[in-house]
Structure 1
Amino acid sequence: MANLEETCTTMLLSDDPVDEDGFGGHQRLAGSIFNMISKEKVGKSIAIRGSWGSGKSTIIKLIRKLAGESQESNIKVIVFDAWEHEGDSLRRTFLEFLLSALDDVKWIKATDWETLKQNLSRKRNSKKLHQYHSFLKVGSIWLVLL
């Protein structure tokens, strides 16, 4: 009888995004998205939605590659992984991430946005005080009597 290990070899496939698309569908979609955003005059936010393992990360990786290879492109691909920040304040975490990413690609100066970053991270407290004028009971009675 043959050894089970010799007759049934187990192969596990990697779930990592690939650099090249073996079938071409992801490459075509990445090329279409890149062409669309290349022709736009203003910035765009694009969401790529799909089920687990459908190739979203591969498409993003291919778009990044196209943006890096293009000589006339001023496109920067910034990827925010919402799952990584599950449980955090999503809006605050996203804005902090975006400011940091824009500073990394030299589109903004972090020092210009330091106050906003501190406000977002709650490292800087700001309080608004309201002062209301009111009379004491004795003063109110005295005022009525006058």
Structure 2
Amino acid sequence: MRLRRLLTVTATFIALAISGAVLAAPASAAPGDITIRHAIYTSSCVEVNSVNIRMYRCGQDPRQRWRQVDLGNGYFMLANRASGGCLLHVWGHITASNQECLAEDSRQWWRWEEQPFGGFLLVNFSGACLSMRNDTSANKNEVRVFDCDGNIKQLFRPIPD
């Protein structure tokens, strides 16, 4: 079963590379809303659930809509359209949260880092990456912040609405 999953993921990366489906790096000040989709499990999107951040099946829910707010320093904040709060890395923890947007709070500073075989890392000012807790497309999959290593749980795509 593990071998089958590894082969499937490898084949997906190769297909993306061959097809030219790798996106150009997104602008840090893209106008309008984006949906943050997982690069492999493309039916899964980052969503605010109260103050918690989880992966849910992509749809038209405003809790899945984010606006990149350029900070002018190479980073941006991700403001959620439904809550008005921003994606935040809770220091000293692996928790991703939704809190009041404060431009001076570097825990809310993010940047996209393109990966060679498709997808992007969403890297925080601290150098840690947004990551799904589990390698699955199931609803309610917790979103956390871990050391960046480029594993498939950390690969996302910003999709303009």
User: Quick check: TM above 0.5?
Assistant: no
More strand by share: 2
User: What TM-score does the superposition give when structure 1 sets the normalisation length?
Assistant: 0.21
Larger Rg: 1
User: What TM-score does the superposition give when structure 2 sets the normalisation length?
Assistant: 0.20
More helix by share: 1
Q: Which has the higher contact order (CA 8 A, sep 6+)?
A: 2
